[in-house]
Amino acid sequence: MTRTSAPGVRVKDLTVVYKTPAGELPALGGVSLSLAPGTITGIVGESGSGKSTLALSLLNAVQPPGRIKEGVVEIDGLGDVVKLTGEELRRARGRQVGYVFQAAQNSLNPLKTVGKQLLDLGRSHDFDDLPALLKDARALLGRMGLDGGRVLDSYQHELSGGMRQRVGIMFALVLNAHLVVLDEPTTALDMITQAAILKIVRDVHHERGLTTLIITHDMGVAAEVTDSLAVMYGGRVVEHGPTTEVLGSPRHPYTKGLIRAIPRLSGDIDEARALPGRPPTLGTIPKQGCVFRERCPLRIAVCDTVDPEPITRDARTVACHAVGRLATPVVPKEYV
Amino acid sequence: MKTVVRRLSGHLLRGLAMIWVVTTLSFVIIRNIPGDPVRGQYEKLIEQGMSPDQAERSTAALYGFLPTGSLWDQYTDYLNGLLHGNLGQSLSTPGTGVATLIGSAAKWTILPVLGGTLLSFLLGVTLGVYAAIKRSGKLGDALAISGSLLHGIPQYVIGLLVVAVFSTLWPILPAGGPVDIDFAPGFNGPYIASLIQHATLPVLTYALASYGGWILAMKSSVATVLGDDFIMAAELRGMSRGILFRYIARNAILPLFTILALSLGLLFGGAIFIESIFNYPGLGLLLVNSIGARDYALMGGTFLVLTVAIVVANIAADLLYAVIDPRVRKGAEA
C-alpha cells in the first residue's frame, strides 16, 4: 500500500463502449494516458469528448449502459482497477481514490446532515475512530475557509454552491486518498468562488502530496492549476504534454483551434475564431480514420483510413498524421 | 416549539373551517334529496285519518324530533347539536343515535381496511423497490405489469373474482358476513378464528386492489432517486450497500407518505364495494344503506366522520412530513 506517497496512474488502451439501439458505440477509443506521481493533470475537451467517462474509469465506475470493453487502469498500490470487483472495488473508492463530482452541488443526501453522512462514510470504510474522522473533516473544512462545526451540522440545502463544492472536496480527501479526481470542480460557480476553489485544490494538492486529475472544459482553469494537460476529442487523447508547452505551442490542429477560439480580454472579440463544424456524438464518431478529420485544416489522404497513433517526443504526445509528417525524426512510443 | 404550535393551530383553524364548509354543503345537498321519510310518515298518518296535531306528535314520538321548522332552523339545530357532540337520531333505525350506529360500524371497517391498506403498502413498497432496481429485467417488468393490471381492475371485479375463487370454486373461506353467529362474542378462540376467517377475503381484496397503486408509485419514486446525483456520489465514495440502500429507500418513500396518510383518512369512508360484496357491516355499507333509506342524520354523520378523518389525516401528513424531511422543517422555520 502506498498510503503515504502520491500514486502514479497508467491508463493503457482503454476502450469504453455504451450500449445503444444502434449497437455498442465507443465513448473512449483506446485511450492511453499516464499521470506522474505528485502532479496535477488536466483534461480538456468539448462536451462529449469522453472526459468524464475517462475520469469514471479511474474508479471502474462507468455507469450502465456503458462498460469498459478493454484496457488497463493501473494505479500504484491498487493494481489494475478494471479487474477490481465487489467489496474490493468499493473499498478502493473513497479510501484510495477520492472523487469530486461534476454535479457536486447535489452530491449529498438531502435528508441527512453532512456530519451524519461523514459518519456513514467512516462506517462504510470500517473506521474505528469516528471522532478523529470528524476532527479531520472539521480541520479540512476550516482549511478551506468554512466553519467546520457548523457545516457538519448542516443539511445540503443550508449550504451555498461554493460551500457544497468544498464539502465535496472534503469528502474526497477526508479518508486520506492520495489520488484525487475532480470532474469539473468549478462549473456553475461564480468567478470568485471558482478562484477560491482552485486555490484550495492547488494548496491541498501540495500539502498532502497528491496525484490530482482535473477535468474541465475551461482552458483558463487548466492553465491556472495544472502541471500537464491532455486534450481529448471524440474519445481520444489527441495531445498531452506539460501545460505551458501545450498551451504555448500547441501541435495538434484541434488544440490549436481550441486555443484560437478563446476570446482575449485585451483585443478584438473577432480575433477569437470558433472551430468550424461540431464535435462528434457517440453515433457520429467515424469508425475508421482520424476522428477530427472533418473539421481539420491539415487533412490529408491517410486521415480517412488510418486512426493516427499517439506519438511521444520530448515529453509531448500528439496523435496526428499531418503533424507527425511535419515533425523531425519521430520515435514511435514503443521505443521511448 | 413555538413555530410547531403556531403551525399546528393554523392547521387546526383551517381544518375546522373545511369541516364546517363540508358539513354545510352536505346538509344542503342531503336535505334536497327527494323523498323525506319523516314527512312521508306524517302524511301517511294524516291519510289514515289522524289530525295534523296527532300525526305530528306521533311522528315526533317515533323519530324523536319534530319534522317542522324551516331549513335554516333545522340547520342551526343541527350545527348546535354537532357543537355539543350530538350527531342526531337515526331515522331508519328509530331510537338509535347516529353516533352509536357509526361506532358499531367503524369497528368492522377500521381493522379490515387498515389491515388491507398496510398490507398492500408494505407489499407494494417492497416490490416497488425491487421492480425499480430490476427495471430492465424480466422480473421487474413482470412486477410492473402486475401493478398496472391490478391498478386497472376495479375493486368490485377483484372482489367478485376473489369470492368466485375462494368461496365457490375452491370453498375454503366464507363469502359473507363479519363472523359466524354460532360463537359467543368475546375473547375466545373460536370467535376470533371466525373473525379472522371472515376478514381474510375482504382484506385480500382490499390489498390486491390497492397494491398496484403502491408498486407503481414506489417504482417510479425509486427510479427517480436512483438517477439522483447523490446516489452515484455515495457509490463513488465507497458507501456500503446497506447505507446506500437506506439512502435510496428513505428518499424514495418520502412522497408516498402523503398518499398513505390520505388513504388512512379515506379508510373511514369504508370500502363501499367490498363491504357490499362481502356483506360486511362497515361504514361503507352503513353509508349506502343510509342513502337508500333517506336517513338524513346518518348520512350527515357518516360524511362528517369521513371529512374529519381526512382533514386530520392531512394535518398528520403535513406534520409528519416536517419530521422526516429536513427541507420542509427548515423551510417552515425560516
Nearest Cα to A205, choosing from A179, A174, A166, A231?
Answer: A179
pLDDT value at position A104? Answer: 64
Q: Is B330 on the interface with A (CB under 8 A)?
A: yes
Within-domain flag for A104: no
Domain count, chain A: 1
Residues of B in contact with A91 (CB under 8 A): 238
Q: Is A275 on the interface with B (CB under 8 A)?
A: no
The A residues from 140 to 199 touching B (CB cutoff 8 Å) are 155-158, 168, 171-172
pLDDT value at position B144? Answer: 85
pLDDT value at position A329? Answer: 47
Residues of A in contact with B237 (CB under 8 A): 93-94, 99, 121, 124, 171-172
Chain A nearest C-alpha distance from B215 (Å):
23
Chain A nearest C-alpha distance from B173 (Å):
46
CB within 8 Å: A61 and B235: yes
Within-domain flag for A274: yes
Nearest Cα to A8, choosing from A296, A229, A209?
Answer: A209
DSSP B200-239: HHHHHHHHHHHHHHHHHHHHHHHHHHHTSHHHHHHHHTT-
Within-domain flag for A156: no
Q: Is B21 on the interface with A (CB under 8 A)?
A: no
Among B133, B221, B237, the strongest candidate for a mutation testing the A interface, having the largest count of A CBs within 10 A, is: B237
Dist. CA B331–CA B174, nearest whole Å: 52
- The single-letter DSSP state of residue A77 is T
* Structural domain of A292: 9-96+177-335
pLDDT digits (tens, 9 = 90+) for A166-187: 899 899 989 989 999 999 888 7
pLDDT value at position A10? Answer: 93
Low pLDDT (below 70) residues in chain B = 1-2, 61-69, 94, 180-187, 270, 329-334
In this prediction, residue A117 has a pLDDT band, given cuts at 50, 70 and 90, of: very high
Dist. CA B123–CA B204, nearest whole Å: 12
pLDDT value at position A33? Answer: 92
Q: Which residues make Cβ contacts (< 8 Å) with residue A325, sequence separation at least 6? A: A300
CB within 8 Å: A120 and B233: no
pLDDT value at position A2? Answer: 40
Residues of A in contact with B254 (CB under 8 A): 111
Residues of B in contact with A112 (CB under 8 A): 247
Residues of B in contact with A125 (CB under 8 A): 238
Residues of B in contact with A106 (CB under 8 A): 228-230, 233
pLDDT value at position A324? Answer: 63
> Which domains does chain B carry?
106-295 (1.10.3720.10)
Q: Is B238 on the interface with A (CB under 8 A)?
A: yes
**Mean pLDDT to the nearest integer, A205-210:** 91
Q: Rounded to the nearest 5°, which phi and psi values hold at B139?
A: -65, -40
pLDDT value at position A311? Answer: 86
Q: Rounded to the nearest 5°, which phi and psi values hold at A267?
A: 120, 170
pLDDT value at position B64? Answer: 58
Within-domain flag for A144: no
pLDDT value at position A284? Answer: 80
pLDDT beyond 90 at A213: yes
Q: Are A155 and B327 in contact (CB under 8 A)?
A: yes
pLDDT value at position B182? Answer: 66
In this prediction, residue A54 has a pLDDT band, given cuts at 50, 70 and 90, of: very high
Question: Considering the entire predicted model, what is its pTM?
Answer: 0.78
State ipTM.
0.83
pLDDT beyond 90 at A135: yes
Of A106, A111, A117, the CB nearest to B326: A111
pLDDT value at position B188? Answer: 74
In this prediction, residue A3 has a pLDDT band, given cuts at 50, 70 and 90, of: very low
Q: Which of A34-38, A87-91, B139-143, B267-271 has the lowest mean pLDDT?
A: B267-271
CB within 8 Å: B230 and A120: no
Using CB atoms within 10 A of its CB, is residue A80 exposed (0-12), middle (13-18) or buried (19+)?
middle
The B residues from 201 to 230 touching A (CB cutoff 8 Å) are 228-230
pLDDT digits (tens, 9 = 90+) for B113-141: 888 888 899 988 888 888 888 777 788 88
pLDDT value at position B268? Answer: 75
Among A60, A89, A111, the strongest candidate for a mutation testing the B interface, having the largest count of B CBs within 10 A, is: A111
Q: Are B262 and B314 in contact (CB under 8 A)?
A: yes
Within-domain flag for A135: no
CATH number of the domain within which A34 lies: 3.40.50.300
Residues of B in contact with A171 (CB under 8 A): 233, 237
pLDDT value at position A215? Answer: 92
Within-domain flag for A141: no
Provide long-range contacts, Cβ within 8 A and 24+ apart, for A309-313.
A309/A333, A310/A32, A310/A237, A310/A240, A312/A336
Q: Is B234 on the interface with A (CB under 8 A)?
A: yes
Chain B nearest C-alpha distance from A52 (Å):
13
Residue in chain A nearest B325 by alpha carbon: A111
